[in-house]
Amino acid sequence: MKLDATDLRYVTTDEFRVLTATEMGSKNHEIVPTPLIAQLSGLRSGGVNKCIGSLAKRGLVAKVQNAKYDGYRLTYGGYDYLAMRALSKRGTMGSVGNQIGVGKEADVYVVANDEGESMVLKLHRLGRISFRTIKTKRDYLGKRKSASWMYMSRLAAQKEYAFMKVLHEHGFPVPRPIDQARHTILMELINAYPLRQIAEHPNPGQLYSTLMSLIVRLARAGLIHGDFNEFNILIREDGQPILIDFPQMVSVGHENAEWYFNRDVQCIRTFFRRRFGYESKLYPRFKAALNDEGETAFELDVEVEASGFGRKEMGLLQEYMDSVLEAEAEEDDEEEEEDGEQEEEQEAADEDVEAKAAEEAEEAEAVEDEIADQQHENDESE
């Protein structure tokens, strides 16, 4: 998706109120009825329609029709706009440059502040994987029934920012976090290539042990990266690795901590064998890593919790991510099984209808604290 920085300047005050009203209405309506947008924006209805029209033309809101009424939903573009506007109001970001990453669950851009200093803006996109598929599997939402792509993406950004901050403060090789708004984080631009793109290395053994030491150092600080692979390790010109991408980070206290730890270790071993033909009998074990004497262990997982990204949010996001993994694994299985029995398909279709009904019921339900949260955030960012 193209981010258009000029948009930041060309939204009128009234259009902005209408856009914010649509965002607020989205918390409990998948499709926000036009009268509700009018009410939340506090504008007269004639004015509102004109604003909605121009916002829709620019793709910041989209018209949706359902059986009962017509309305609008905030698009990714609209949410991106609101986040960037907040950053720009705070003076941390001024313009948008090239896209440098398109992930399954995030887009990454080079942006700049008004001093012309380059930075990286990462926009989380958790809803790309159908919520419907996941909702049928598990009620991961708990009480927060109307959680949506917006909410989950925002949680992911808040989590990533909280971890990046704590890691950076403790001298771990991660980008310097600069700011966070809605589903986005702003961070230092690292001048480096992902390990994935490094064809040759003068001393793979040394890099291997640096990376393994990093995994151990993290564990001793209470954390496991959870996605420690050649895409998320940037290698600077001086050979130093910089670690990125933290939304899936877990505490060493997590029930599957050892599994996550071993997977991170295994990723590096496999990559070094395939890419550099390098194999070593030496690699870290979870329990030994934790009991390692030497530098004093500290508890970054606890520190992150204290920083405002609480246990509740962490749990919610974790459950969502676990269900995505499960849903993906099941999809893979289904592909392998090939033309799956029709019975199963019928079952899935039934589930889908049920899920949709449940989803609609859920969407009708209000989540007051979420709105309060968002309003608070909006107040703060304006």
Q: Is 120 in the site for ligand ADP (CB under 6 A)?
A: yes
Piece in contact with ligand ADP (CB under 6 A), picked from 184-192, 217-225, 273-281, 292-300: 184-192
Q: Residue 45 or residue 197: which is nearer to ligand ADP going by CB?
A: 197
DSSP state of 347: H
Site for ligand ADP in 211-240 (CB under 6 A): 231-232
- Of residues 22, 28, 153, 232, which one binds Mg ion by CB under 5 A? 232
Residue 321 found at the interface with ligand ADP (CB under 6 A): no
Identity of the residue, 23 or 80, whose beta carbon is nearer to ligand ADP in the bound complex: 80
Q: Is 189 in the site for ligand ADP (CB under 6 A)?
A: yes
Count Cβ atoms below 10 Å from residue 137 Cβ, excluding itself: 15
Q: Are 231 and 196 in contact (CB under 8 A)?
A: yes
Task: Name the nearest CA neighbour of 111 among 95, 130, 90.
Answer: 95
The site partner of 101 among Mg ion, ligand ADP, none (C-beta below 5 to 8 Å per kind) is ligand ADP
Catalytic residues: 227
Q: Report the largest interatomic distance among the alpha carbons of the chain, rounded to a whole angstrom.
A: 72
Q: Which stretch binds Mg ion (CB under 5 A): 178-186, 238-246, 266-274, 324-332?
A: 238-246
Taking CA atoms, 247 is separated from 118, 221, 382, in Å, by: 23, 17, 26
185 is a contact residue toward ligand ADP (CB under 6 A): no
The type of residue at 293 is E
Q: Minimal distance in Å, beta carbon 101 to ligand ADP?
A: 3
Quote the tokens at residue 48.
């509102």
Identify the residue among 218, 244, 304, 316 touching ligand ADP (CB under 6 A). 244
Least separation in angstroms between residue 32's CB and ligand ADP is 29
Nearer to ligand ADP, 19 or 187 (CB): 187
Chain-centroid distance, C-alpha 7: 23
Of residues 296, 362, 365, 366, the one with CA closest to residue 135:
362
Other C-beta atoms lying within 10 Å of the C-beta of residue 272: 22
Q: Which residues pair with 33 in a beta bridge?
A: 71
Segment near ligand ADP (CB under 6 A), from 96-104, 144-152, 266-274, 302-310?
Answer: 96-104
* Contact flag: residue 127 with ligand ADP (CB under 6 A): no
- Best CA proximity match to 21, nearest among 376, 375, 299: 375
DSSP state of 234: E
Rounded to the nearest whole angstrom, what is the least distance from the CB of residue 109 to ligand ADP in the complex? 9
> Across-strand partners of 124?
106
**Tokens at 9, concatenated:** 């300047």
Rule CB under 6 A: say whether 103 interacts with ligand ADP. Answer: yes
Q: Are 148 and 26 in contact (CB under 8 A)?
A: yes
Considering only residues 241-260, where is the footprint of Mg ion by CB under 5 A?
245
Kindly report the backbone phi and psi dihedral angles of residue 62, in degrees, each rounded to the nearest multiple of 5, phi listed first. Answer: -130, 140
Residue in the structure block whose two tokens are 């976090």: 177
362 binds, among Mg ion, ligand ADP, none (CB under 5 to 8 A by kind): none
Q: Decide which of Mg ion, ligand ADP, none touches 225; Cβ closer than 5 to 8 Å per partner kind.
A: none
Q: Distance from first CA to last CA of the chain, Å, rounded? A: 25
Instruction: Return d(Cα 161, Cα 187) in angstroms, integer.
Output: 9
Binding status of residue 94 toward ligand ADP by CB under 6 A: no
Binding residues for ligand ADP, per CB under 6 A?
100-101, 103, 105-106, 108, 120, 122, 175, 187-190, 194, 231-232, 244-245
Q: Which residues of the chain form contacts with Mg ion (CB under 5 A)?
A: 231-232, 245
